[in-house]
Amino acid sequence: MTELLYQTDSYLKEFEALITAVDNETRSVVLDRTAFYPGGGGQPCDFGTLEAAGVSYPVEKVKKQGDDVLHFLGGATPLPPPGSASRGTLDWARRYQLMRTHSALHVLCGTLFRDYGALVTGGDMEPLKGRMDFEFERMRGELVRDIENAVNHEVQQGREIRVKILPREEAFQIPDLIRTKINLLPEGITRVRTVEIVGLDLQADGGTHVGNTSEVGKIRVADYKSKGAINKRIYIEVV
Ligand SMILES: [Zn+2]
């Protein structure tokens, strides 16, 4: 089982961990704790390096498997044995861009729900670029500039972004969470992580976010597409 350090400290760039399992065939190792985000909820995984036994291995892919986080190590150097101490370092430039992008998408969600009642149905991102799908029948080209102005106004408010981990029962009492996909959470999950942009948006979310909207930068609404009468896809860029 891997302790997920990024869930409570998204600004952690370096960490020490013990290698608890090694698979030489797939060149993957499990750590007892990690700051590497394994991907999920539209946010891609982190890259970086893992130093162990005097070797610096590139971390080329990170993936969650049950309660473990697998770190896939590049190169051809034999892997360190289980029980080895290691030091992980994130590719911070990439991760921080993903944090800004992910928070920008939540600003978009919160703003579109408040201003138009639009519900989000999905999303995806890469560093500094993202898209979200909404049930947003009224969306049309003329609204692009209005939306862009509204989301940038929210960014400039310097709204704090708070992360909490709540017992499932408590999370289910929060009306704002019910409008998102909290009711789709598997039965077995006893704790729910929430990400709140204070005064704007609250979601059940596993991703990494900046601490304040002022860190997002400027959001450009790059494009939108109709995916039918109701479903619309909105593309953003962060600069
Ligand atoms: Zn999210």
Q: Distance from the CA of 24 to the center of ligand 1, in angstroms?
A: 33
- Give 181: exposed, middle or buried? Use CB within 10 Å, 0-12, 13-18, 19+: middle
Question: How far is it, in rounded angstroms, from Cα 138 to Cα 229?
Answer: 9
Q: In this predicted structure, which of 28-42, 118-132, 162-176 has the lowest mean pLDDT?
A: 162-176
- Cα(100) to centroid of ligand 1, in Å? 11
Question: How many angstroms separate the alpha carbon of residue 102 from the centre of ligand 1?
Answer: 6
Ligand 1: centre distance to CA 6 (Å): 14
Q: What's the gap in Å between 199 CA and the centre of ligand 1?
A: 17
Residues 201 and 216: their CA atoms lie apart, in Å, by: 15
Q: How far is CA 162 from the centre of its chain?
A: 14
**pLDDT mean over 123-140:** 95
Share of the chain above pLDDT 70, in %: 97
* Dist. CA 189 → ligand 1 center (Å): 18
By C-alpha distance, which of 78, 76, 62, 75 is closest to 30? Answer: 62
Higher pLDDT pick, 13 / 182? 13
Distance CA 15, CA 95 (A): 15
What would the two tokens of residue 108 be?
Answer: 């978009």
pLDDT over 80 (residue 200): yes
Output the six-digit token pair for 227. Answer: 């995916």
- H or E element at residue 177: helix 175-178
